[in-house]
Structure 1
Amino acid sequence: MCLLLVLASCKDKEYLRIEVEKESGSMVSMRNFSRSSYKESGELEWRLKGDESYIFPKENKTIVYGFEFNQFEKGKVTSMMTGNRGEINHQTKTVVLEGKVRLKTNDGKFIESESLTYNLDEKTLFSEADVLVYSDGTTIRGKGLRADKSLNKFTIIQPKAITVGGSNPLKDKP
């Protein structure tokens, strides 16, 4: 009789099911990852967020899914870089982004590509994939890119189309 009362009073509980990890062999894996860096003055320098993060200490690398990297100056975002997957190599100080990569600066410039490499020491960008660069009313499509992180200086290796002002004729129509 007591057993029936205990079973009757039990309710189904909802449990959060953890999916299979996307990367194998990591020493540490985290969900809803966030890391920030501050200057000696206490001012926020950058913030990295991710849906999932996998840390590989032996390989000296970190892999982040749902990659979002914001750089700050005087408390304001100066650039935001996003991608589906980012691999940070701590030894070479490079970040390789893949899948819907986008870099946007606070002055309205942006890059879109399927892959992009960012060198943290040199503060330079590199890609061999198709890229779209928008700067000062001009849109350039091409293959391959070399640029500084602020997009003040950039080179499209194989330009395919350039639109100065107005609308982009290569943009997909609804």
Structure 2
Amino acid sequence: MWKHFLLLLFFVFISCNEKKYLRIEEEKESGSMVSMRDFSRVSYSKEGDLEWKLMGEESYIYPTENKTIVYGFEFYQYENGKYKSYLTGNRGEIDHSSKSVTLEGDVKLRTEEGRTLQSELLNYNLDEKTLSTDSEVVIYSDGTTIRGKGLRADKGLNKYTIIKPSAITVGGTNPLKEK
């Protein structure tokens, strides 16, 4: 009986030596308590409506600093369960204490109305629901493109101020008209 068991064990070890393991690249951030890959987080209202969805390629959580860093940042916002906007960036840092998000690298915002914003750096205040940056920005709205440096806006780009506008290309209707 033992001979059969040892023979079986021998064949199991021989057939298992060809395993290939997926190599995980080095982490982009150090010192985090928790790191995750290919994650998503979803929030619902008390009524059960979808409020927002956050997805990322990599996430690093720092509980003692009360912050989270997300690479491949994708953030969808909803109101009453309906899509409102989509915000992306190469790297996002969420400060849970100040309830703010700082996005860096190829930052893009697209609203349900079709307005878009592009920048290399963008700050989003979650309490005030405002956007700001001192970097170069491009806003496209209803056929009009506005370029400049610095921005103060609401999250839906319904009201915005470009601090130092540098170029305006007009097409479609006037995006600055009163609604």
Question: Structure 2 length normalisation: TM-score?
Answer: 0.87
Q: Distance in 1 between matches of 2:74 and 2:11?
A: 51
Look up the match of 1:72.
78
Matched, 1:57 2:63: yes
Tell me the residue number matched to 1:22: 28
Equivalences, count: 166
Distance 1:66 1:165 in 2: 33
CA distance in structure 2 between the aligned counterparts of 1:136 and 1:120, rounded to whole angstroms: 26
Partner residue, 2:123: 117
- Counterpart of 1:33? 39
1:129 aligns with 2:135: yes
Deviates more, 1:67-76 or 1:154-163: 67-76
**CA distance in structure 1 between the partners assigned to 2:143 and 2:65 by the alignment:** 42
Amino acid at match of 1:155: T
Provide closer, same or farther for how the CA distance between residues 83 and 11 of structure 1 changes in structure 2, counting only shifts above 3 A: same
Q: What's the counterpart of residue 99 of structure 2?
A: 93
1:83 is aligned, of 80, 86, 89, to: 89
Alignment match, 1:171: none
- Report the CA distance between 1:2 and its aligned residue: 9.4
Cα separation, 2, equivalents of 1:72 and 1:46: 6
RMSD of Structure 2 on Structure 1 (CA): 1.9
- Find the residue that maps to 2:92 and give its secondary structure: strand
Counterparts of 2:8 and 2:45 in 1: how far apart (Å)? 63
**Corresponding residue for 2:176?**
none
| One-letter amino acid matched to 1:95 | V
Alpha-carbon separation, structure 2, partners of 1:97 and 1:48? 13
**Cα distance in 1 for residues equivalent to 2:153 and 2:116:** 11
Structure 1, unmatched stretches of 5+, are 167-174
Q: Percent identity?
A: 67
Show the 5 A alignment for 1:157-168.
157-165=163-171
CA distance in 1, matches of 2:131, 2:114: 17
Going from structure 1 to structure 2, the CA distance change for 1:11 and 1:132 (only over 3 Å counts) comes to: same
Structure of greater Rg:
2
After TM superposition, the score normalised by the length of structure 1 is 0.89
Extract unaligned runs of 5+ from structure 2. 1-6, 173-179
Partner of 2:110: 104
CA deviations on 1:38-88 (whole Å, 9 max, x unpaired) are 111011100000000000011100000000000012332110000000000
1:12, CA displacement in angstroms? 2.2
